[in-house]
Structures are given as structure tokens and as C-alpha cells.
Structure 1
Amino acid sequence: MIEDTNVTAKEYRKMQKFLLLIAGCIAIDQTLLSVVILLALLMGLQVAWKERSVPQLRVWPRHLKWLLLLLLATGYVSLHNPLVTHPFDCTFNFFYVVGQYVSVVWLVTRFGNCFAGKSRFAKPAPYEEGLPFWKIFMRQPFPVRMLRVLGWVAVVSVLIGIGQHYFGGATDALWVDREANPLLRNRVFSSWENPNIFSGYLCIVAAYIMGYIGVEKNSRKRWGMFGILLLVILCEVFTFSRGFWVAMAVEVLAFVLVFYRKGILYLLGVALAGAALAGPAVWQRLNTLRHVTEDSSAAMRLAYLEIAQAVVEDHPLGIGWYNYRYVFPEYDFYFKNPDVIMYHCHNLFLNVAAELGIPGLILFLCAWFSMLYLAVKLARKARFLWARAFAAGYLLMSLGVTIGGIGDHVLFNVRMGVLFWLLNALLVVIWHFNRFASE
């Protein structure tokens, strides 16, 4: 069959290396990520064309697949909304942004589902003691390899953020209300566009670290991951993003209450140590939550929510993908300046409802709830500990994104969006892996 399709194991391995490269580029640079996705897509289409006569396994549950296709169709149809006054800009953004999401989901599904007994090529070899690290890495299931790459790059990103705080490079001019926070000098953002996006990214990273801490049996490895988690939380503090501070706190609390109850004492110790070591700038930032409307940043976000609510009430069927920035001036009662560009409403769910309408929001939530259902099933009954850990991480990530999404829409960032949909695709691939892979 391999000779009939002219597809070789080497081409499949190359495709998987492209996918690993995509995972590595997410936390580095948007342009680089887009180029790598494009190259991977071109090669993937070429391989898929050669294999067009070969029946493919159905990886996605049928109902979930249709939900996502309907959501995709809703986004495309929204481009033809009469309210869209800049059709070229909105259409270009749709294909550029959503095109990357769809490409990553398809590539991971098509070439990342190689597992023992179900692939003609990439069957993981038996584990052997004493092998070099690289050979051990290449013998692991593909989802594990991709998670490792995501983890390695995340550690580098965290170290860059901590370095910005202690050695310079963090912002000292933007995203800081000096009147309400006179002691706040800088906010780290690492390789991301701004501190709030970086803070959302750290919540995702912390969620998966906690998922793996919960299943790790080796004490030394578990303490190592715990140390990395502390670095992530420290970097989260240095972003001074209050919304994601709350999201991170909720994630950690959910972790110790649901997945790792013996960690409650550790949590109390870390909380006490953090309270003792927190600097005056941290306490001042927390104190602003008592008088939210006196902080310009918080006051603006409350205004954004009112504006977005008005948009949804006036246009329950949506205003069109990427059209929020063009409709915003009509509803702007806060800035009252048509030159102010607002790309999104700083609320994940209101933003989806505003652009894609209430039907689009329902489709998005139904698809997400279906993913959460798969994650719950994996967290309870997965045959592999690493699959159970991934499921726990996905559940914690979803909780953090939901809490953080109330005050910000970090998934508007293309790299964050790619990461989100990549993790969704990995969840489905792992769910499929767990059903059919040999022990």
C-alpha cells in the first residue's frame, strides 16, 4: 500500500517534525509561526493527495465535527453581514486567522494520530532502558512529544519574563496607571505582545504543569515540576494582570481540591510565603481591587463590557467577524474619540456574541462543552497516566481561560488562538489514542 500511494514513513516523520516546529514557534513570533504553518500545510496537502485513495480513520466524534464546521460556516457567513463596512479587511483577517486555526487542527488530526496498531508508519518502538534522550523522545507517542516541545518553549518564555523583571526589558510606560499604582514600575511580557496576553499564556502553562504533577509518581520529578510551577506563578505576579491573577488562583485551588488533595498543605505554605515576600507594589495592585472604578484600566474594562452588551442587544445575530473595531466608535461613550481603535471588547464570550451573534456563541460553547466532556472522561478513565494528566490540564486551562476571559479576550491574539485550538486537537487525538493504542 505504501508503494501505491508513493508516501513513505520518511514523509510522515517530516510532517510530524513540522508539527513539533509549529508547537515551538507559538511562544516565539507570529510571523515565524504563520510561515511554518503555511509550509506544513502545503506539505500536508501534498501527502494527503498521494493518499487520497486510502481510507482514513475517523478521529473526531461526529457531533463535535459538525459543531465546529457549523461554527466555521457561521464565521464565514458573518463576513457578508450588511454591517460590515470594510469587507476586504474582515475577509483577509478571517482567512489569515481562522485559516491558521483550521490548518493546525487538520494537520494535528491528520498527521498526529499515528499510534501503535493504527498507523502504517509511525508505530512507537518499545521503551528500553539506557537509550539516549533523543531516541527516547522519538519513541514516545506523538502527542507526548508535542507536549514536551510546548513545555520546553514555555520554560524559556517564563525565564525571559523573569529576566525582564530583574534585569530590564519589561515595559515601564504602557499598560501602567501611574496614578492608581505609583509603585508599579514595570510589567513583564516576555516574547508576547503585552502583559495581559502573557499572563493568559502562563495560566495555560500552569494548568498543564499541575495536571502532570497530579499523576507523577517519581518524587524527584514531581518536585522538579513543582519548582517550575512556582517560577510560572512568580512570572504571573510580575505581569501584574489582576484578572489572570484571579484565574491562576482559581486554577490552583481547583487543582488541590479536585486532582491533588494532599497538595493543600503545600498550597497553604506557598500562600503564606507569597504573602510574606510580596513587595509593596503587589499589595498596592491588589488594593486597587477594592476601588475598581478609581483605576483607569478597570474603569475602561467596565466601559468595554457596557459597550459590548449594547452591541449584542442591538445586533443579536452579530456584526461580522473582525467588524467590532469598525462598529465600536458608534457605541463609544467612554473615549468619545473616533481615532481610538478597539479590536475587541475585552471579554471572550461577549466578543464572540458581538461578532458571530448569539447563534455563534451557542455553537462555540456547545463545541467547548463537548471538548470538556471528552476531557472529563479521559481524566476519569484514561489508560495512560500522561493522557489523564493532559485531560486534567485541559480542564484547569478551560477554567482559567473562562475566568480570565471575563475581563480580557486573550484568544484574540493569533498565537494564543493557535495554541488553544492546537490543545483542542491534541485532546481529541489523545482521546482516540486512549481508545485504540496498545499498552
Structure 2
Amino acid sequence: MSEEIVYSKYKWIGLVLGGIVGAIGYFFGALETIKVIVALFMLKLIFQNPIYSVALYIISIPFVSDMSTLLMGILVITSYCINFIKKGKFTFKFTPANFLILLFSIIIVISTILSISPGGSFRDFAIHMVSIGIVFMLIHSKKSKDEIYLLSGIFVLTATIVSLHGFYQFFKGVPMGSGWLDVSQNPNIETRVFSTFENPNILAEYLIMVLPISIALFFVNNGIIKKICFALASGVIFICIGLTYSRGSWIGLAFSIIVFILFIDFKKLAFFIPAGIGSLFLMPNSILERISTMGSLQDSSIFYRFNLLNKAMDILKDFWFSGIGIGYVAFRKISPFYIRNMAPYHTHNTYLQIAIELGIIGIIVFLLLILNIFKMGVSSIVNSNSRFIKFLTTAYISSLSAILVHGIAEHIFFNPKIILVFWLIVGMNLSIYRVSKETSIQES
């Protein structure tokens, strides 16, 4: 083909695209035109390499609506499926968690069908299925240390931006929602930040899952500039967690730090535990007051939770085997028959809530899955010679530890975005495990 023909071909393509862009700009305006161009460019990147779809998905979670985030999740799955088809091969990748994830998915499907409110359970069914679908794609796609690093960095960057917005709220003095605080027990707290999330507890749940990742990236980077960046990011995220005044998240974060140190260098616990206790004397009065109310029945929030847990046990006694069906709608439908002086959306305890929704088999499978992931993580840490693998595995295990401990005081599977991030953390744990195994095979 001569140069003139090639030039003529691309000239006509350019003219057609220019005409389309011009028409969009004329009818919808410059801003919408820019949005379309950016969207088309992003789609090209996404279908060229599915890892970009996961990166975009991680960025979008705190900033767009629940429905948009769900659609983004579907886009992630679609991009991976197209990539598998383009390559013309799909190899089943085994991890010890595969069977338990499949079994938990089946339990969710059955729970939705047999729910006391099948239509109401569909929301949570869709969220979990898309999330688990992404986990499946992460397990079965070819992963490298570079991709793990990229996604981890995107997590930290996004959480830092979210935290900075939380700082803005703190200094601006945004009003608190009703029920967020017992003012009589916490007179020095004027603002609880929530950033782009619905309330401070949800923001804290998100941030405590990301902070261990930021700390790990600080340690694995050798360059001074990168170390400074991740140190600053970790500090910003840590302070924002404090500004949420979420007591359950503070406990979860403290536990995750202990897990992190235990896996990296357990001897340092002898230093960090006394240092942590000593740091209490340097904390502002507002935080010390909040800490002092932990477990106090004088605090209205604590009293409400204890009262709710006692009453919810009656639901579990009647539905211990079958469960009521996944999701808050089913719980809201059944709870008035057992809890007459409250109108809760959930029990504020993840493990009791899963048992009520999915029955005894559901909670057992969930706990076995978590134990299996921890076992895989320990195996990678012990057997890998890679500093990167050791620190990133520790980070994602610590992330799970933080949110699961927080789950004792809050239902982490209520908010769609936290569900999506939770399963992403699970997927990253399994991806690192696979990279660890493949690396060890190549080295042997």
C-alpha cells in the first residue's frame, strides 16, 4: 500500500472522528465532549490491559455512587473476559481458598432464593457476586510484582486524597449527623469527619484497610523520594482515622499494627506495645475521652449495641440453620417481630449478622475462608525470599485483620463500597499468594 493511500485512509478517519466530536460538542457542550473523549480513551486502556480497569475501579469506589461502582465492577469482569478470549486460552489457577469462595458464593445464591425477601436480598447478592467475580478474575489472570505494586499504590493514592478531604471537613467544621455521638460523654468532640463516605465509621473502615498497605510500600521502596511520599501518605491516613473518632476502627487498627509487627519482626513488639501505651499521654483530650468510653454502658451508642445484640440473638435461635436471607432488607422485615423498641438495619456485629442472614453453614464457611487466607499468607511470608512478597503479604493480611476486628463492633457487609473493598483485599491476598508460589517455582 502506497504512502498516499495510507495518508488518504487516515485523513478520512480523522475527518470522521473530528465530525463526531464536533457534533457532540455542538449538541451537548464542551464539558460533555471532554467526558466522552476521556471515557473512550479510558476504555481503550482498559481493554488493552485489564489491570487498568482494576486501577480505575479502586479510584472510583470512594467518589462515585454505589450503582456506578457496581457498574465499574462489571466493567472489570468484562475487560478480563475479553482479554481471556483475545489470548485464546484460560487456565484454571488453584489456590487453597478457591473451593471455599465457590461454596460461600453458592450459599449466597441459595440465601437470596430462599430469603424472606428475595427482592430485598438481590442488592446484596449483586454486590457480593460482582465482588467475588473480580476476585476470580484476579486469581486467574497473570499477575506480576509490578502489577501488585501498581494496584497497591493506587489504593494508597486514593485513600490519601480521601483523607485530605477529611482534613478539609475537620477544619471547616462540618455538622455531625444525629446519633453519631453521645455529646454528654464526649463534650470536646465537635466534628467527626466522613469525607466522601456516608458516615465516619464507614470512612474509618475504608482507611484502616489501606493504611497497612501504605506502611508496607514505605518499607519496600529504597528511593528516598518514594519513602517520603509513602511516609506522608501513611501519616495523613493515620490522622484522618483519628479524626473519624471511630472506636471500633481504632481497635481494629491497633490489632492490625500488632499483626504487621508480629509477621515482620515479632521482637519489636516488646518496644512498640509500651510505646503505644506511652503515646496515650500525648493524645488530645477529645481522643482520650473517646477511648475512655469504650465498653461503657453510660455511652448511648454502646448501650444501644449491647441491647440490640441481646435481642438479635432471638432471631438467630429461630433461623440458626436456614438464615433469613442476605441483606439489610430481610433483616428489617423480620426484626420488628423480635426488636420492638428499635428499627435497626443490622446488629452492628458482622459475625452475628452473617449467622442470622446465611445460617450456621454460612458463618462457618466464611470463618474457614478467612482462616485459609491467613494460613496462605503465613505460608508466603515464611517460605518466600522476596522482601516485596513478605511486606505486601503482611500488609494485606493486616488489612483483613483490621476490618475483621472492627467487624466485632460494626457490620462491615452493610455498606456496598466496604463490601467491594473487602473482597478486593481478599483478591489481592490471593494474587500475592499466586505470585509468591510462581516466583518460588522459578527460583527452585
Q: What TM bracket, shorter-length normalisation?
A: 0.7 to 0.9
Following superposition, the deviation at residue 331 of structure 1 comes to: 1.3
**Structure 1, 278-287 or 416-425: larger mean CA deviation:** 278-287
Following superposition, the deviation at residue 78 of structure 1 comes to: 1.5
* Matches for 1:128-147 after TM superposition, within 5 Å: 141-147=146-152
Indicate yes or no: 2:180 matched with 1:175. Answer: yes
In structure 2, the CA distance between the partners of 1:294 and 1:333, relative to structure 1 (3 Å rule), is farther
Identify which of 357, 360, 375 aligns with 2:359. 357
Q: Which runs of 5+ in 1 are unaligned?
A: 1-8, 116-139
SS of equivalent to 2:294? helix
**Structure 1, 317-326 or 42-51: larger mean CA deviation:** 42-51
1:153 corresponding residue in structure 2 = 158
User: 2: CA distance between counterparts of 1:432 and 1:10?
Assistant: 25
Indicate yes or no: 2:94 matched with 1:60. Answer: yes
**Structure 1, 229-238 or 253-262: larger mean CA deviation:** 253-262
1:109 corresponding residue in structure 2 = 139
Identify which of 56, 62, 74 aligns with 1:38. 74
1:412 corresponding residue in structure 2 = 414
Amino acid in the other structure paired with 2:94: W
Larger fraction in helix: 2
Superimposed CA distance per residue, residues 78-110 of structure 1 (whole angstroms, 9 cap, x where no aligned partner): 2233xx4432222x2144212321232233234
Amino acid in the other structure paired with 1:362: I
User: 2: CA distance between counterparts of 1:307 and 1:211?
Assistant: 42
In structure 2, the CA distance between the partners of 1:186 and 1:314, relative to structure 1 (3 Å rule), is same
**Structure 1, 316-325 or 170-179: larger mean CA deviation:** 170-179
Following superposition, the deviation at residue 364 of structure 1 comes to: 0.8
User: 2: CA distance between counterparts of 1:16 and 1:163?
Assistant: 32
How high is the TM-score relative to the length of structure 1?
0.81
Amino acid in the other structure paired with 2:49: K
Identify which of 326, 333, 338 aligns with 1:326. 333
User: 1: CA distance between counterparts of 2:105 and 2:82?
Assistant: 24
In structure 2, the CA distance between the partners of 1:410 and 1:248, relative to structure 1 (3 Å rule), is same
2:251 corresponding residue in structure 1 = 246
Amino acid in the other structure paired with 1:246: I
User: 1: CA distance between counterparts of 2:303 and 2:79?
Assistant: 48
Following superposition, the deviation at residue 432 of structure 1 comes to: 1.6
* Matches for 1:185-224 after TM superposition, within 5 Å: 185-213=190-218, 215=220, 221-222=226-227, 224=229
Following superposition, the deviation at residue 72 of structure 1 comes to: 0.9
Superimposed CA distance per residue, residues 36-78 of structure 1 (whole angstroms, 9 cap, x where no aligned partner): 2223333433444455x52x333232x5222111111111112
1:231 corresponding residue in structure 2 = 236
Superimposed CA distance per residue, residues 5-31 of structure 1 (whole angstroms, 9 cap, x where no aligned partner): xxxx98763322112111211222233
In structure 2, the CA distance between the partners of 1:172 and 1:362, relative to structure 1 (3 Å rule), is closer
1:88 corresponding residue in structure 2 = 119
Amino acid in the other structure paired with 2:71: V
Q: 1:250, 1:400 within 8 Å by CA — same for their partners in 2?
A: yes
* Matches for 1:5-20 after TM superposition, within 5 Å: 13-20=48-55
How high is the TM-score relative to the length of structure 2?
0.80
User: 2: CA distance between counterparts of 1:356 and 1:20?
Assistant: 32
Following superposition, the deviation at residue 174 of structure 1 comes to: 4.7
1:399 corresponding residue in structure 2 = 401
Amino acid in the other structure paired with 2:289: Q
Query: Between Structure 1 and Structure 2, whose CA radius of gyration is higher?
Result: 2
User: 1: CA distance between counterparts of 2:279 and 2:241?
Assistant: 16
SS of equivalent to 2:413? helix
**Structure 1, 420-429 or 148-157: larger mean CA deviation:** 420-429
User: 1: CA distance between counterparts of 2:45 and 2:61?
Assistant: 25
1:275 corresponding residue in structure 2 = 281
Indicate yes or no: 2:122 matched with 1:98. Answer: no
In structure 2, the CA distance between the partners of 1:227 and 1:371, relative to structure 1 (3 Å rule), is same
Following superposition, the deviation at residue 172 of structure 1 comes to: 5.6
Q: Which runs of 5+ in 2 are unaligned?
A: 1-43
1:381 corresponding residue in structure 2 = 383
Q: 1:303, 1:334 within 8 Å by CA — same for their partners in 2?
A: no
User: 1: CA distance between counterparts of 2:414 and 2:381?
Assistant: 28
Indicate yes or no: 2:392 matched with 1:390. Answer: yes
User: 1: CA distance between counterparts of 2:177 and 2:119?
Assistant: 36
Amino acid in the other structure paired with 2:68: L
SS of equivalent to 2:128? helix
Following superposition, the deviation at residue 298 of structure 1 comes to: 0.7
SS of equivalent to 1:289? coil
Amino acid in the other structure paired with 2:332: R
Following superposition, the deviation at residue 224 of structure 1 comes to: 4.9
| Aligned-CA RMSD value | 2.7
Q: 1:173, 1:186 within 8 Å by CA — same for their partners in 2?
A: no
In structure 2, the CA distance between the partners of 1:206 and 1:95, relative to structure 1 (3 Å rule), is same
In structure 2, the CA distance between the partners of 1:303 and 1:11, relative to structure 1 (3 Å rule), is closer
Indicate yes or no: 2:196 matched with 1:184. Answer: no
